[in-house]
Amino acid sequence: MKAKINLKKERIYLYLILLLSFILNFFNLGIEGYGNTYYAAGVKSMLLNFKNFFFVSFDPSGFVTIDKPPIGFWLQAVSAKVLGFSGFSIILPQALCGVISVFLIYYIIKNTFGTNKGLLAALCLSVTPIFVAASRNNTIDNDLVLCLLLSVLFIIKAVRSGSLRFLLLSFFFIGVGFNVKMSEAYLILPALYLSYFLYSRLSLKRRTINLCIATAVLIVVSLSWALAVDAVPAKNRPFIGSSTNNTVTELILGHNGFDRLKLGNIFKSSHSHRKANVKLKSAKISNANLSGLGNESQTGFTRLIGNNDISDQIGFLISMAILGFIAAALKEQLGFSIDNERKMSLLLFFMWFLTEFIFFSFSKGSFHTYYLTTMAPAIAALTGIGTIDMINFKDKKVLIFPLSIILTAIIEITILYYNHTKSSGYIPIMLLTAVICLIFSTIFVLNTLSNKNAKLAASFAFAGILIAPTIWSATPIFLNMNSGSPSAGLELYHNPHPFKNKAAANPNSKLAVYLEKNSAHEKYLVAVPSATTYASSLILETDKPIMTFGGFSGNDKIISLNKFKKLVYAGKIKYAILSSQNNAIKGNNKAIINWIKRTGKIVSNHKWQNTNSISKNPSKLYYLSLKHSIKI
């Protein structure tokens, strides 16, 4: 009877946590509009035909691809096909992945470490601000999180059963994750290899052979789409966006590979004046008027909890995760001999956390704040596992839990203090965190010393350190996030240009009306240098082909000036738009821009620009007169 009651309570707690995750991820989801319109335009183009779908074409004509692999956008396209294309349908897969990931981390931790640890880990993940922010946007990082958790699930099953099949499934899902975000998926590999290799209940020979076979599966799955695309003649497919030689292989190694794998000196102080190159790429922001977190911070060990724009997204529970690992390692007597699945799992989660902590703390390559969501499950798992062990410690070790709570509270309050000038709401959260953590940590110690039940006090003390991240995670329900780089927090109050539903998708409706009205069935409605120059919004509004002759950033070498001229001469391009954002473009695409300026006739702004945007936006629309072009 008692077991049934406990099972009933467990299910109630689990349902409440999943309900919390569902509310945070889904409630008022329409406030996000189309989210990142660069990706949204690509999904809309993919719905037009199978060729666009397979190659992940950005534009309806299949001129250039999105600069990411396909699986995340395939899921969005399928959702949009079933439910109809809308902001909700393309964000839905990420929101679902978020809720499923919360359940999955509960399931993984419960089966290895017990129910309470699983529930606590699930709760921590559900209220991690950047995890919620990524769930409410059409960036695809939480699709990757789900792949990583599935990989962890199956490698633990492989250890439990001794089955090679489960190990292969684990590496298969890393390969799937590679086809979601490429090299970002591989950050978990050191954890997988090391934890399995040190598992001493299999012979060294067997472990080595199994890992070699699993690695072969990983490579085949990872490169399957890339090799298939590269095997298609370039004339029969879109140009591979953000690649230098029109191949997915180069995209893997370049833009989505070594360009992001730049590490600074890990022994350099976080107070160094050398800042990491983590500025938002303007092309990811679909409208020049957007504002949001700058994602600029100094490299160093304190980067993720320091005075910058990223610590309040992931830093709240990092100290608790580290202390939790230490506590769990003491309890499990973790050493170099990994002889059971608990030790192996604990090492795996810690190595997952440590690898990503080092990478994101010292990376000087380009990354966005929402990339940090991939380390959220490891932090949540270590916190859930270690906190329960701390609470159950006896004798002098009983002080580890309250000291950990106080230390974590101090770090959280410090993070809040860094940002307290942004909103008056920070001060009450700081005070509430301090009071609850201090009072109930003290009660926990007093009750433990008097042999009373201290678990209720421990629950309230731990709840104290969840106040700030929970409030942060709830803010996107009421406030618009930066669609190009989603993040959560009270600073969203200071976003002066919130996206709201249709306004997010149609900032250039007058331009769309003008172009369609004056179109004479040209192949391209308009030519633009990059995806930032009206391309995404025009695709969403018109469903017509927009030639982004410089690709995503404006620097892709897709078409030569002579070929561009021939398209104009053939009557396939009638209009082009240039903006001040294109001034930094160089090389061949600069030659095309200069030719448009020399040849084209400027269309009066009042004919195609909204009145309130004329003075703010120095863009110019050029009419490429066929007769004048030939003469020139």
Q: What is the pLDDT of residues 206-222, one digit of tens each?
A: 999 999 999 999 999 99
Token couple for 112: 């290895």
The whole-number pLDDT of residue 508 equals: 65
Kindly state the helix (H) or strand (E) to which residue 318 belongs, with its residue range. Answer: helix 318-332
Give mean pLDDT, residues 269-286. Answer: 35
Token couple for 471: 């409030």
Is the pLDDT at 572 greater than 70? The verdict is yes
The whole-number pLDDT of residue 283 equals: 36
Neighbouring residues of 283: CB distance < 8 A, sequence distance ≥ 6: 38, 530, 531, 532, 552, 553, 554
Angle at 385 between CA 383 and CA 390, to 5 degrees: 85
Residue type, 572: K
Is the pLDDT at 268 greater than 50? The verdict is no
Contact 87, 35 (CB under 8 A): yes
Contacts for 10-16: CB closer than 8 Å, 24+ residues apart: 10/115, 10/119, 13/119, 14/103, 14/106, 14/119, 14/122
Q: How far is residue 107's CA from residue 96's CA, in Å, rounded to a whole number?
A: 16
Which residue's structure tokens are 């040849």?
A: 599
The whole-number pLDDT of residue 473 equals: 96
SS (H, E, C) 472-531: HHHHHHHCCCCCCCCCCCHHHHHCCCCCCCHHHHCCCHHHHHHHHHCCCCCCECEEECCC
The whole-number pLDDT of residue 4 equals: 53
Is the pLDDT at 5 greater than 70? The verdict is no
pLDDT 10s digits, 530-545: 988 899 999 999 999 9
Q: How far is residue 621's CA from residue 577's CA, in Å, rounded to a whole number?
A: 5
Q: How far is residue 76's CA from residue 44's CA, in Å, rounded to a whole number?
A: 10
Q: How far is residue 242's CA from residue 443's CA, in Å, rounded to a whole number?
A: 58
Q: Where would I find the H helices in 84-128?
A: 87-113, 115-126
Neighbouring residues of 8: CB distance < 8 A, sequence distance ≥ 6: none
Neighbouring residues of 310: CB distance < 8 A, sequence distance ≥ 6: 293, 295, 297, 303, 304, 369, 372
Give mean pLDDT, residues 405-432. Answer: 88
Please state the length of the chain. 632
Give the end-to-end CA distance of the chain in Å, rounded to a whole number: 90
Q: How far is residue 523's CA from residue 250's CA, in Å, rounded to a whole number?
A: 29
Q: How far is residue 330's CA from residue 323's CA, in Å, rounded to a whole number?
A: 11
Q: Is residue 601 helix, strand or coil? A: strand
Is the pLDDT at 296 greater than 70? The verdict is no
Nearest CA to 600 among 508, 493, 528? Answer: 528
Q: How far is residue 334's CA from residue 190's CA, in Å, rounded to a whole number?
A: 18
Give helix then strand counts, H and E, for the chain. 26, 5
SS (H, E, C) 335-374: CCCECCHHHHHHHHHHHHHHHHHHHHHHECCCCCHHHHHH
SS (H, E, C) 136-157: CCCCCHHHHHHHHHHHHHHHHH
Is the pLDDT at 591 greater than 70? The verdict is yes
The whole-number pLDDT of residue 334 equals: 86
pLDDT 10s digits, 19-61: 999 999 999 998 989 999 999 999 999 999 999 999 999 999 9
The whole-number pLDDT of residue 377 equals: 98
Q: How far is residue 448's CA from residue 280's CA, in Å, rounded to a whole number?
A: 50
Residue that wins the pLDDT comparison between 270 and 465 = 465
Which residue's structure tokens are 């066929």?
A: 626
The whole-number pLDDT of residue 622 equals: 95
pLDDT 10s digits, 490-509: 877 666 444 444 444 455 68
Q: Where would I find the H helices in 162-302?
A: 164-181, 189-197, 204-230, 248-253
The whole-number pLDDT of residue 256 equals: 73
The whole-number pLDDT of residue 279 equals: 36
The whole-number pLDDT of residue 7 equals: 79
Token couple for 413: 């309050």
Nearest CA to 138 among 238, 46, 64, 61? Answer: 46
Residue type, 115: T
The whole-number pLDDT of residue 631 equals: 46
Which residue's structure tokens are 């969403």?
A: 540
Is the pLDDT at 450 greater than 90? The verdict is no
Buried b or exposed e, range 173-202, using 16+ CB within 10 angstroms: bbbbbbbbbbbbbbbbbebbebbbebbeeb
Q: How far is residue 629's CA from residue 367's CA, in Å, rounded to a whole number?
A: 42
pLDDT 10s digits, 346-355: 999 999 999 9
Kindly state the helix (H) or strand (E) to which residue 391 belongs, with its residue range. Answer: helix 376-392
Residue type, 601: K
Contact 229, 180 (CB under 8 A): no
Contacts for 166-170: CB closer than 8 Å, 24+ residues apart: 167/196, 167/210, 167/211, 167/213, 167/214, 168/213, 168/214, 168/217, 170/214
Across the chain, mean pLDDT equals: 87
Neighbouring residues of 431: CB distance < 8 A, sequence distance ≥ 6: none
Neighbouring residues of 319: CB distance < 8 A, sequence distance ≥ 6: 305, 404, 407, 408, 411
